[in-house]
Structure 1
Amino acid sequence: MLPTILLVNKIKLIHEIVTTAEFSIYMGFIENISTGKISNNAFKKAILLFILIIIGYAFFTLLFINNSNVFEGISNYLLPIISAVTLIMVFYAVKRSKTYGKSYYHAWLFLLIAQAFWVMGDISWSIWDFKLADASFLTYDYVCFGLRIVFMCMSLNAMPKPHTDILNWYRRMVEIGMVLVTLTMFFWSFLILPFIGLDQIDSVDLMVIGLNIMLIFALMFFSIYLLVSYAGNLKKGPIPYIIASVAFQVLAAITFAYGYILGLYSIVGMENLFWIAACLCIALASLVQIRCHPPEVLKDLSIEYWRFKIPFETNVALLLGGVAYILLIWAYFSFEGVFEILLFGGGLLVGLALIRAAISSKEVRKSYAKLEESKRTYQCILNTINDAVYVINPEIKFLEVNQGALDMYGYSRQEILGKSLDMLSAPGKNDMTEVVNAGYLALDGETQTFEFWGMRKTGEIFPKEIKINKGTYFGQNVVVAVARDITHRKEYEKTLKKSLAEKEVMVQEVHHRVKNNMQVISSLLRLQSMYLDDEKVKNALQESQNRVQSMAMIHEKLYQSRDLSSVDLGGYLRQIMRYLLDNYKMEFHQIKTVIHAEKAEIDVKTASPLGLIVNELITNSLKYAFPDGKGEIILNVCLVGDYYHLTVADNGIGLPDDFQLDRTETLGLQIVNRLVGQIDGVIELGEGKGTEFIIKFPLTIKKRKR
């Protein structure tokens, strides 16, 4: 009596521990599940937890398999609890699926109904196993089992699948039929036939078992179809967990059947382990569905990403035929009664293989027709391009040309294809080594553009511009070249160059004549001043002469330079300095000049007023800064940012204390102020001994209103 009491207490303790642990484990996720906020870390913990449950139940089976009271008591409580909590997870997955569309919602709704029948089946089995009802109550378990499979098949069928054409769908159905035929042959040999051979099995059990086997085959059909549809994208979404659950359910059914046939009670623990694994896979699928965002689920199922990416379709007939052949050989040498059935199955498999071959042949013809149509479309597009287009392989052979290339050279397609590039090259006009190197650079991904001299079929030589890029031609890396006849462009360039040369000569002549005319004016002013006695008038004429001469120097610089639009600022300023020193008859050893000028080319619009400014400022220094005839004049030009700084300074007597630059009444400085405004500059007075003017003007002068 005492051992029995201890055993009962032990069972109650284990039962309390297991149920409490399971409940606390699952309830930790319920709050996050209800909100749909399941992190990656939480999901990984869930997977680890489910694995631990399976391992724990496996150890439990090994420990108590020989103690039926403990084993059945714990199992009959544990399985309904697991399936019930899984039902809760599926419920929240159904709620989450409302935002994904009707297809996902209906699929998960059917799965919820299937899981509800799973719970009812586990409960009815536990009631019968606890002897709380007679054997007739077990019928409810069989009914729940069958309805569970029916609604799970409906769920798998309702899952959204990639769009496929009708031929591909037919071929896929035939392939799935071949799989089912092979599985039927296998199950008939090792499962169904042994059931039929049992003397103690009655007709009702046989009918129920046969019906369940048919339902299992239906479930396998829909799961295989779903697997084939989603192959290549099984790393995302709940589909792999659902398919894994189906696989565990099939293993559980097979284990149950063999345990029933062989009368092995110990195999029931393995069956329950498969049922638990199948249920936990549904729970994991629910967690994935809850935590997924709609954009991750609602992808375009027609895109190439979803296509079948494992080498199964092309080898399925060979693989299944080999399995059937092995079964036939085994049946022939083992059981004579089995051989006829398997022979029929083998014939059916051959018939399905022939149907599949016919469908595949039609697909090949259809694909070939699409390929030809694609090729014609591609050739039509190429021929609409007026420029010549070539496809050249790494061996510098023509693989394809368009009509523009044929018109450009006058050859037929057959005459060009397969020939070398040398065929179209003008002899002695091109460096073919450089052309080949450009082709290799293009194959490395660098676009190349160059000119090439071609020769037509008639022998006419003409220039063309070629642009080459890397391309792909039926899986082969090639160079795609686009060429344009530039004969007219070359003629235009030649005409333009000739015209430009003529205009340069004309502009040089204009500058020369302007310079000569200004020198004539300067000479006339000089001659006029020689016959005058009034010193003020003579000084005025001399200053006017200097201004005219500074402008004449610009035109002299322009017609002497290659660039007719700009002058060297440093050289121009030095020439003005020398002219003024010579004109005022200053000795170079008495007046020291220091000129620092950066290399700068300025346009005529800037050079002309700038020369006049320097002329006026240096003239003032020469006339008023050195009463004793000795001193130093500094001329400095430098670039500071976007502005030139021109400094004209001397170490003479300086300006009066009350001098104001903006209110000066002298003509020369008034001219300076106006000219500084013309070049968008500013003028400042420096501090210190002597006189220092600083003119700042931009690199480019703004367009002035006339």
Structure 2
Amino acid sequence: MRYLVTVALVALVAWIQYSWIGDAAFRYPFLAYFPIIFITGAFLDRGNGFFATVLSALAVSYFFMEPRYWIDVINRSDQVALALFVVIGFAISAVVEALHTGLVSLADEHARVSEAVRDREVLLHELAHRTRNDFANVVTLLNLQARSANAEAREALTSAAERVQTIARVHRRLELRGEHVFVDTKSYIGELCADLRLSRLAMRPIAIECNAESHSISLEKAVPLGLIINESVTNATKHAFPQRHGSIIVDFRQEGEAYKLVVADDGVGQRNGPESGKAGIGNRLMGMLAAQLGSKIEVEPRSPGTAIVVTIPVKIAN
């Protein structure tokens, strides 16, 4: 079918030249066939460009070169022109068919890559879904165990459940970009603050405000960042507001070549930092988490209240 189409196109051009164009066809007989060579090479492929070149040369020599109606060229200049036409036609056919083959291969490769990306995204979503279910089961078990424990154990189990829940939030916010997985800080920290408002502050006259810029950080850095926020807010609710109302502000933004996290309260004042000899497990945990981020916990006394500050180099966070 491809070769029949090629024959039909060459015959159509020869008929139009011979019947309608007139003397101009005899002066420039080859020009009308170059588009046919290009079209057949580009769309029909499989040697049709070369086949169209040969058919066109035969048509020109038969209809438009002396002696007419005979496949023989006696004029030396016509012979040179015919040979040059064949060379140019073959060159056009070779280039066009090579481009066509390359484009087909590129399209096939693009389809394979797109399918691989879709498969990877499906696997990532499936993994994230199963991981969230596993975290949810762990949180449920910790909360169930806390119900039957004494006050001190109940508080420890509840804190552990909140830490696991913080890690689970990361997996709800995964974004796949190329070969890496990222978490958007604005949505992640906003969701974390909303959950802390419900779990820790629901029955207390304490407000929490979240101001987080949108930045993409790696999964490995999102987990310690969220845990530091969780521990800072938890410590503030425990120690900064004895028998009084107040507010907590969580602020995350980029300043130059670093991200800066500030968890500030307007409570009673200085609390023990992670390097203090009286630091509890939460503060010691924050110190270790900050080290994973290439930073350290800084406790800034304010009037009123205290601020926990963590400065994270951008190159480390990404």
**Do the structures match in fold with TM over 0.5?**
yes
Instruction: Choose from 193, 198, 201 the match for 1:577.
Output: 193
Q: Once superposed, what is the RMSD of the aligned Cα atoms? A: 3.1
Shift of 1:579: 1.4
C-alpha change, 1:593 and 1:460, in structure 2 (3 Å) is: farther
C-alpha change, 1:419 and 1:619, in structure 2 (3 Å) is: farther
Shift of 1:583: 1.6
What's 1:669 paired with? 283
Structure 1 residue 641 and structure 2 residue 269: aligned? no
Which runs of no fewer than 5 residues in structure 2 stay unpaired? 1-28, 50-94
Shift of 1:487: 2.3
Structure 1 residue 518 and structure 2 residue 135: aligned? yes
Query: C-alpha deviations, 1:657-693, integer Å up to 9, x for none?
Result: xx45423431111111111111112332223221101
Q: Distance in 1 between matches of 2:120 and 2:223?
A: 22
What's 1:196 paired with? none
Q: Distance in 2 between matches of 1:416 and 1:662?
A: 88
Q: Distance in 2 between matches of 1:597 and 1:581?
A: 16
Q: Distance in 2 between matches of 1:549 and 1:604?
A: 15
Q: Say which SS state the counterpart of residue 682 (structure 1) adopts.
A: coil
What's 1:17 paired with? none
Q: Distance in 2 between matches of 1:691 and 1:614?
A: 14
8 A contact 2:269–2:301 mirrored in 1: no
Q: Say which SS state the counterpart of residue 602 (structure 1) adopts.
A: strand
8 A contact 1:424–1:456 mirrored in 2: no
Instruction: Choose from 208, 211, 227 the match for 1:596.
Output: 211
8 A contact 2:273–2:298 mirrored in 1: no
What's 2:182 paired with? 566
Residue identity opposite 2:276 in structure 1: R
Shift of 1:652: 0.8
Structure 1 residue 495 and structure 2 residue 83: aligned? no
Q: Distance in 1 between matches of 2:120 and 2:163?
A: 28
Instruction: Choose from 623, 642, 647 the match for 2:238.
Output: 623
Q: Distance in 2 between matches of 1:547 and 1:536?
A: 17
Q: Say which SS state the counterpart of residue 202 (structure 2) adopts.
A: coil
Q: Distance in 2 between matches of 1:510 and 1:698?
A: 29
Shift of 1:636: 0.8
Shift of 1:575: 1.3
Structure 1 residue 685 and structure 2 residue 299: aligned? yes
Matches within 5 A, 1:398-477: 419-420=33-34, 423-425=37-39, 454-458=42-46
Which runs of no fewer than 5 residues in structure 1 stay unpaired? 1-414, 427-452, 462-479
Shift of 1:513: 0.7
Structure 1 residue 537 and structure 2 residue 153: aligned? yes
Q: Distance in 1 between matches of 2:30 and 2:223?
A: 63
Structure 1 residue 506 and structure 2 residue 120: aligned? no
* TM value normalised by structure 1: 0.31
C-alpha change, 1:511 and 1:487, in structure 2 (3 Å) is: same
* TM value normalised by structure 2: 0.67
What's 2:228 paired with? 613
8 A contact 1:581–1:587 mirrored in 2: no
C-alpha change, 1:695 and 1:425, in structure 2 (3 Å) is: farther
Residue identity opposite 1:663 in structure 2: S
Q: Distance in 2 between matches of 1:505 and 1:587?
A: 40
Question: Aligned pairs, how many?
Answer: 239
8 A contact 2:270–2:301 mirrored in 1: no
Q: Distance in 2 between matches of 1:529 and 1:422?
A: 82
What's 2:52 paired with? none
More helix by share: 1
- Greater relative CO (CA pairs within 8 A, separation 6+): 2
